[in-house]
Structure 1
């Protein structure tokens, strides 16, 4: 049918009636009254130009490089059988915002920023759960920047997040060289979502579930550790692929650790007297877990005290790495509310204070210390006085009013 000669008559246009040819408008053309208020969708095949139908029934066509799949038009991508809703102008705004703003906040390292800005969005075109994660994370970031739009942006974030997680759960059951990069990137975004999605109120390390259900815990720390569980399967594939530079192996840096501020180092070393001699309720594995967790904090403080050019890890990486490097035994001690483990956990805030300006980690240190203070008991309060004071100084340096700090912080 020549669309230039079509009069859109129903059930068959005049042009097709005259030539007795099938009319593409006979069944497929939607009623104009319905398109005024609904998004029209159509499944797109890979490597074809995409036509996005936005609210109001207006079409905006754009093209991507032929080697990448077009943006998906279905809510859950029709080949997965989840919903059928078009993307709109808001989604294009979010994608643009991610490419120009959000991606630059995920890391302080320019090389890694380039991966989040260029490589990972390209991967998302062929793994739509990752695209959903990108749009959701961008919506949260934009809501942080533009609080007057918070309600609508949170709705967008939640919608994309829900679909992305459902699709991801299907993919992650079968990690392959084809989907491992997308799963790794999405799981990283999943962990970054946890804190802002909780309205900065969730317990970062403490599960609120009953003990019998804690294996299904979705605390911030458990999500971070989940990323590394995925890497146990896919490390070699990812290391040899485009996202290889995002991988980090934990290595001790004795020379840098020795650069830690002597006063800070002495204070941290002094914590070891908490389990020397070992309390009778602890076995050797418990003592080893406490010692290792403390050494990791000493190492991080040494790195943070070194010059930026010498740092093998950025402040963001250090803050995100510590919860994944401590042993499962240490986290079990935290779950049991053992005071020695809680005291070490409180000192992890020394690292979190360094990244409090990062939008998806802002307020973590305060929440962690308040939670520990509530659970540790009066007898042990003096052991966390230093982390509390460090948080107060950090917030004062960020121009927080002195009276507010002293009224809110639970000093012993």
Structure 2
């Protein structure tokens, strides 16, 4: 074996070769490596040395430059047309987690300008769309919320930019840049929001988590305007299973193509706001920002009598007969039901329906105050299960809720929502899912919702109310009457009770699907 050739170590190489940890040929005035790559060499330009030393002192690691890259740079988010959506959060582009950069990248000027454009639009216009029923909170959404984001809340900052991009997209539906931006920023916000929740809620992050949850709920609601998920491309339905009470199963095995899909993201996201409020109330109750947002909402005053004298009392007609059918013994050949026992299910079902109808009755009186939006946040988990099971009564209640949104048809993210969703829900009664007699049986309970959904509300943009003879109530007269009945004018009592039920270490709300 020949003797090993001696190697002479040298420290005279240029700084760039040392940074890259490669051998420098030490050729002056420009070394071979720098010449090959077409970069400046400190041999010929000593001024480069200071820049190289700064770069070497700031290595690309998580928590440095990469953390501040725009999600538009971090994520290569595809358009809807290139990503199949099957209802799962793992395949929807809105919920793709951002990838981790492997090298330091300078944010292109175009993306810096995009973020400036989005933030400007948010503070100038978008923030006002959160406060159309409570102008007193405009400074919170316009000034305080961005300030909280700038103080270190990345999930809140990304959520702000996401809703601003969605608003701009509504003004220019074919702007592909805004489509990508709205998805990318919300994906980044959801990823960081989930990671923060996993680390735990405390006094330093509770406020920003609450506000991010509210913006996620807004995004989930507003996104419905742009999605086409009522069309499920799948094989024609196989036979549905039967329930022991004679009603259809919780869902068909293979939904028919073109079948309307209930926007459960509304309920999941608004329920998430409720859950995080209850879980972190020990911190939020002393926040002037959160308490002002909460107290700006219309006072929830529910009448649980729900008799025939209430506007939506008819939605409970025949409820006891339906509950009795649930209690019928199963045929010996029927498989055991893995769900909750009937002793628990019947009272929870009754309460779910009664509470949902009570919320409708309250919201019907003061819809211009944003009261209908309390419905997806306040209904019980059991009611959402009844919707998942496609119970006719639950769907009729849902149609009436969507009809209430007609009162806010002048708001960009709710425009056309009532018509679209009511027609979608009613289409289920016209399908083969419930049988040939369902439409005639439930039409008396759907007639008001259809009439309101199809009403041409020409004064919506100017805030002109729907005539009382069409709507069924005088908004402003009812508002005055409810104002006299209000005690304290606050949601605090309701939230205090809810937070006690959740407990100090309550469950963390899930990320909306």
TM-score (norm 1): 0.69
Q: Does 1:159 align with 2:184?
A: yes
Aligned twin of 2:445: 383
Higher helix content, 1 or 2: 1
2:172 to 146, 150, 154: 146
Q: Gapped runs of 5+ residues in structure 2?
A: 1-38, 75-97, 231-249, 255-262, 327-345, 430-437, 462-513
**Aligned twin of 1:3:** none
What is the correspondence of 1:257-336 to structure 2 with a 5 Å cutoff? 266-277=310-321, 279-282=323-326, 283-304=346-367, 315-316=369-370, 318-336=371-389
Q: Which residue does the alignment assign to 1:74?
A: 69
Say whether 1:115 aligns with 2:140. yes
Question: In the alignment, which of 1, 5, 10 is matched to residue 40 of structure 2?
Answer: 10
Paired residues in the alignment total 328
Larger of the two Rg values belongs to structure: 2
Greater shift, 118-127 or 244-253, is seen at 244-253
Q: Which residue of 1 aligns with 2:155?
A: 129
CA distance in 2, matches of 1:247, 1:202: 32
1:364 aligned residue (417, 425, 432): 417
Distance 1:252 1:12, change over 3 A: closer
Corresponding residue for residue 101 of structure 1 = 125
For residues 133 and 360 of structure 1, the distance between their equivalents in structure 2, rounded to whole angstroms, comes to 16
Q: 5 Å matches for 1:138-217? A: 138-147=164-173, 150-173=175-198, 174-198=200-224, 199-202=226-229
> Could you list the per-position Cα deviations for residues 76-96 of structure 1 after superposition, in whole angstroms to 9, with x for gaps in the alignment?
699x99335625111101101
Give yes or no for the alignment of 1:231 onto 2:249: no
Deviation at 1:45, TM superposition (A): 9.4
TM-superposition CA deviations, 1:368-395 (whole Å, max 9, x none): 2123212234232332011100111145
Unaligned runs of 5+ in 1: 1-8, 30-40, 51-71, 212-216, 259-263, 305-313, 400-412
Change (3 A) 1:339 1:44: closer
Over 3 Å counting, the alpha-carbon distance change for 1:266 and 1:101 in structure 2 is same
**Per chain length, whose mean CA-contact separation is higher, i.e. which structure has more relative contact order (CA < 8 Å, sep 6+)?**
2
Q: Are the aligned partners of 1:73 and 1:85 in contact in 2 as well (CA < 8 Å)?
A: no
Using the size of structure 2 for normalisation, the TM-score is: 0.56
2-side partners of 1:245 and 1:380: how far apart? 41
- How far apart in 2 are the matches of 1:75 and 1:43? 16
Question: Is the CA contact 2:266–2:376 (under 8 Å) kept in the aligned structure 1?
Answer: no
